[in-house]
């Protein structure tokens, strides 16, 4: 089957996510609706072991997300010690699609981190690459 012309084919990057982390992403999107949920993706290498919800401190959380800076700093401090690495972050699109929006593209830092976007019971994983967002394939694993 040919890939959709509007979306690049998935990268060969072998992203894995634990079932518990995946469940957290969907639950947070449901819990926060009609506002955007957000949080951090934690793990090692290419495996997301944990999705850690954070407060959305954006001025308009129905249309934007901003991860609570205190939560972000705490996660990086843990990672410098014995904690899991911060692999990226997640957010939801309560009325959109599970892919980066124009606002997401404008906010992207092109740092190679993973973005998970949840929308309407769907999820997409993306790498914030120097050339723009790259779709990632994933598999669910037991961690």
CB 75, CB 40: distance < 8 Å: yes
Binned at pLDDT 50, 70 and 90, residue 142 comes out as confident
Q: pLDDT tens digits for 21-45?
A: 999 999 999 999 999 999 999 999 9
Residue 7 has pLDDT above 50, yes or no: no
Q: Is residue 54 exposed (0-12), middle (13-18) or buried (19+ Cβ within 10 Å)?
A: buried
Q: What is the mean pLDDT of the chain?
A: 91
- pTM of the shown model: 0.89
Q: pLDDT tens digits for 96-127?
A: 999 999 999 999 999 999 999 999 999 999 99
Residue 85 has pLDDT above 90, yes or no: yes
């Amino acid at each position: 089957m040919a890939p959709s012309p509007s979306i690049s084919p998935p990268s060969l990057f072998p992203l894995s996510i634990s079932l518990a982390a995946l469940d957290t992403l969907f639950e947070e999107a449901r819990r926060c609706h009609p506002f955007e949920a957000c949080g951090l993706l934690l793990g090692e290498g290419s495996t997301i072991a944990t999705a850690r919800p954070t407060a959305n401190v954006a001025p308009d959380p129905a249309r934007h997300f901003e991860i609570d800076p205190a939560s972000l700093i705490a996660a990086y401090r843990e990672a410098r010690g014995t904690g899991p690495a911060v692999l990226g972050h997640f957010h939801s699109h309560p009325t959109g699609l599970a892919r980066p929006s124009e606002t997401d593209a404008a906010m992207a830092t092109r740092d190679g981190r993973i973005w998970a976007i949840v929308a309407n019971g769907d999820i997409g994983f993306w790498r914030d690459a120097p050339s723009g967002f790259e779709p990632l394939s994933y598999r669910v694993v037991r961690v």
